[in-house]
Structure 1
């Protein structure tokens, strides 16, 4: 009887280059507040899909959108500050 070996085992055994680099991990960490704000906005929008929207719900969506915009601005400012220091 022949043992069954998956192709994935053979491929991933030599896939050290598939891991994210330190620079990529730093970029993800820098963008994490924006990612969290976008997830919060998405959660808010999903929670409103199956019911009528009230004034309070409208405020929640507006607040979540403002949070996304603020996080985007912060990430942009941090990125430009990092690129100026590197230059």
Structure 2
């Protein structure tokens, strides 16, 4: 039986091998405050997994949740830069 494999190297690059475009980096920079607030909330939630929450922990959790909501509200009220990401 004859092998019919490709004889030349692949011309197009694999999508997992490429660097982010400028538009994608702009989109990430635009959402950075929300990402940081969500990471902070996740840190508080992880710290409370193995112990009961004290009054201070409850305040930290509530503050982190409010920070996420405020960041989401700010992003919602801003005009997003037109980057062409996902288009």
Distance in 2, matches of 1:82 and 1:22, equals: 12
TM-score in terms of structure 1 length = 0.69
TM-score in terms of structure 2 length = 0.69
1:29-48 superposed matches below 5 A: 29-48=29-48
1:77 matched to which residue of 2?
77
Higher relative CO (Cα under 8 Å, sequence separation at least 6) belongs to 2
Q: Deviation string for 1:44-77 (max 9, x for gaps)? A: 0000111111111111100000000111111222
Distance in 1, matches of 2:20 and 2:81, equals: 20
Where is the helix percentage greater, Structure 1 or Structure 2? 1
1:1-87 superposed matches below 5 A: 14-15=13-14, 18-78=18-78, 80=79, 82=81
Number of equivalenced pairs:
72
Distance in 2, matches of 1:72 and 1:53, equals: 26
Unaligned runs of 5+ in 2: 1-8, 83-87
Question: What secondary structure, in the 3-state scheme, does the structure 2 residue paired with 1:51 have?
Answer: coil
RMSD between aligned alpha carbons?
A: 2.5
Unaligned runs of 5+ in 1: 1-9
